[in-house]
């Protein structure tokens, strides 16, 4: 929803990776604030760019619904009429859909106060992609600034599917780690005077592949991806260090802890084997908790979706390998939550868009420059899903 240029290229302070848009949703936040104001509602700013609006409507339970609002450092390649106007920044994860659907739900609930009773909290959360936004709002006193909810809801658009719900783990825990290993730099012609970090990193990368294949129980879900390996700059210099960026995904925190221990063991022993004189370092960042839907909360929304929507619209989900920081909010309030997914492709429309040359690939996934949720019917379904979920608790 941002519409004016940001200072680009956006980088970390020292110009290095990882690249981030953390807490940069200033104009999106202002726009949401303006939309709420148009509805006669006050927006409480919590953290730099997070917002909560509270609709108090008599006795009854309190429901919190959350939309994430951040974009990604991706250049929009959809060519659609709602594509990003900012070079290098795009709502490639569909959070613009989440914002619009939640604003729509707020509007409908606010215009139909006779239909329900209780308190509705609409929470617009920044920086989901960096796992920084829920934390930023909690650090700014979220739990003491709004009424305590009884249940929390969130939804996410996915390239395929309908409305998909699931009790228990629905999104994986995610961890990123930057590993720095140290060698001894020297002239490229003098291997006897060096400890080569390129070879060291290469052996670590291969050995890390054995964690999932040889250490995790067959059938248990785990991902260990080496997403980046950086060392050296030219052929005749042996550099003095190498950096690896790893991404981990798990559905079981015990499995996660064992994988982290395995990474530590492998990296340290490979450094010893190579003759590295300095201990490797491990910096964990972008850490996402497990999204583990409460059974009762999930069953209640699932039943409400089944009752409201046509047959076949609400279906059970398979757990996804993506991750989310949403659950940090209900966990901080110690309340149950349900997180569901909304399919965002209309197969017929998609085919027509391909025929018209507007899009040119198979249905693209979230984070793709071609990710293109169809507005109709996705927006309507996503908006109704938020209203139906709220009314399952608040309806008269």
Comparing every residue's Cβ against Zn ion, the nearest one is 93
Say if CB 85 and CB 364 are below 8 A apart: no
Residue 93 is a binding residue for Zn ion (CB under 5 A): yes
Query: Segment contacting Zn ion (CB under 5 A): 44-52, 91-99, 243-251, 388-396?
Result: 91-99
Residues in binding contact with Zn ion, number by CB under 5 A: 1
- Cα torsion 146, 339, 129, 384 to 10°: value is -80
Query: Segment contacting Zn ion (CB under 5 A): 18-26, 54-62, 86-94, 300-308?
Result: 86-94
Smallest distance, Å, CB 276 to Zn ion? 36
Smallest distance, Å, CB 95 to Zn ion? 6
Smallest distance, Å, CB 367 to Zn ion? 6
Nearer to Zn ion, 93 or 379 (CB): 93
Nearer to Zn ion, 133 or 197 (CB): 133
Residue 158 is a binding residue for Zn ion (CB under 5 A): no
Spatial distance between the Cα atoms of 282 and 132, rounded to a whole number of angstroms: 19
- Classify burial at 297, counting beta carbons within 10 Å of its beta carbon; exposed 0-12, middle 13-18, buried 19 or more: buried
Spatial distance between the Cα atoms of 196 and 256, rounded to a whole number of angstroms: 30
Q: Could you give the C-alpha distances from 320 to 163, 242, 288, 339, in angstroms and in order? A: 14, 32, 14, 12
Query: Segment contacting Zn ion (CB under 5 A): 85-93, 139-147, 216-224, 289-297?
Result: 85-93
Nearer to Zn ion, 93 or 244 (CB): 93
Nearer to Zn ion, 25 or 243 (CB): 25
Spatial distance between the Cα atoms of 25 and 196, rounded to a whole number of angstroms: 42
Which residues pair with residue 90 across a beta bridge?
72
Largest CA distance in the chain: 81
Smallest distance, Å, CB 128 to Zn ion? 6
Query: Segment contacting Zn ion (CB under 5 A): 28-36, 88-96, 145-153, 346-354?
Result: 88-96
Nearer to Zn ion, 93 or 208 (CB): 93
Spatial distance between the Cα atoms of 349 and 371, rounded to a whole number of angstroms: 14
Smallest distance, Å, CB 237 to Zn ion? 38
Comparing CA positions, the residue from 156, 39, 57, 25 lying closest to residue 101 is 156
| Contact set for Zn ion, span 99-118 (CB under 5 A) | none
Q: Could you give the C-alpha distances from 122 to 54, 91, 99, 126, in angstroms and in order? A: 7, 20, 10, 13
Which residue's entry shows tokens 């910096």? 283
Nearer to Zn ion, 94 or 196 (CB): 94
- Give φ, ψ of 357 to 5 degrees: 75, 10
| Contact set for Zn ion, span 316-355 (CB under 5 A) | none
Nearer to Zn ion, 94 or 197 (CB): 94
Smallest distance, Å, CB 372 to Zn ion? 15
Nearer to Zn ion, 93 or 372 (CB): 93
Following DSSP, what letter does each residue of 357-391 receive, concatenated?
A: TS--SSSPPTTSTT----HHHHHHHHHHHHHHHHH
- Classify burial at 42, counting beta carbons within 10 Å of its beta carbon; exposed 0-12, middle 13-18, buried 19 or more: exposed
Query: Segment contacting Zn ion (CB under 5 A): 89-97, 226-234, 258-266, 345-353?
Result: 89-97
Comparing CA positions, the residue from 68, 70, 75 lying closest to residue 27 is 70
Nearer to Zn ion, 130 or 294 (CB): 130
Nearer to Zn ion, 69 or 121 (CB): 69
Spatial distance between the Cα atoms of 204 and 354, rounded to a whole number of angstroms: 43
Neighbours of 227 (CB within 10 A): 11
What is the contact surface with Zn ion in residues (CB under 5 A)? 93
């Amino acid at each position: 929803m941002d519409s004016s240029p940001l200072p680009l290229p956006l980088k970390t302070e020292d110009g290095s990776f990882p690249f981030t848009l953390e807490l940069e949703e200033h104009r999106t936040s202002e726009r949401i604030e303006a939309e709420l104001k148009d509805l006669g509602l006050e927006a409480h700013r919590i953290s730099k760019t997070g917002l909560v609006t509270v609709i108090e409507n008599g006795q009854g339970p309190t429901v919190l619904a959350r939309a994430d609002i951040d974009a990604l450092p991706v250049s929009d390649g959809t060519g659609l009429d709602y594509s990003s106007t900012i070079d290098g920044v795009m709502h490639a994860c569909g959070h613009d859909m989440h914002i619009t659907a939640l604003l729509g739900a707020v509007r409908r609930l606010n215009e139909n106060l006779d239909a329900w009773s209780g308190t509705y909290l609409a929470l617009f959360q920044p920086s989901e992609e960096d796992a920084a936004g829920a934390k930023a709002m909690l650090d700014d006193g979220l739990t003491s600034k709004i009424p305590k909810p009884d249940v929390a809801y969130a939804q996410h658009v996915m390239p395929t599917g309908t409305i998909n719900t699931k009790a228990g783990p629905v999104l994986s825990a995610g961890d990123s780690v930057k590993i720095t290993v140290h060698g001894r730099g020297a002239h490229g012609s003098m291997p006897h005077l060096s400890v080569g970090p390129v070879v060291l990193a290469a052996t670590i990368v291969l050995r890390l592949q054995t964690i999932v294949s040889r250490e995790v129980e067959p059938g248990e879900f785990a991902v260990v991806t080496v997403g980046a390996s950086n060392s050296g700059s030219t052929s005749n210099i042996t550099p003095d260090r190498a950096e690896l960026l790893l991404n981990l995904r798990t559905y079981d925190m015990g499995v996660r802890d064992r994988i982290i221990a395995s990474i530590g063991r492998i990296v340290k022993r490979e450094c010893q084997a190579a003759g590295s004189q300095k201990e490797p370092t491990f910096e964990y960042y972008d850490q996402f908790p497990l999204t583990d839907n409460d059974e009762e909360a999930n069953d209640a929304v699932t039943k409400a979706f089944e009752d409201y929507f046509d047959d076949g619209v609400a279906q059970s989900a398979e757990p996804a390998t993506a991750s989310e920081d949403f659950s940090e909010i209900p966990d901080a309030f110690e309340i149950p939550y349900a997180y569901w997914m909304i399919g965002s492709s209309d197969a017929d429309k998609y085919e027509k868009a391909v025929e018209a040359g507007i899009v040119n690939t198979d249905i693209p996934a979230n984070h793709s420059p071609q990710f293109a949720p169809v507005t109709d019917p996705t927006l309507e379904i996503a908006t109704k899903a938020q209203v139906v979920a709220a009314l399952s608790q608040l309806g008269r």
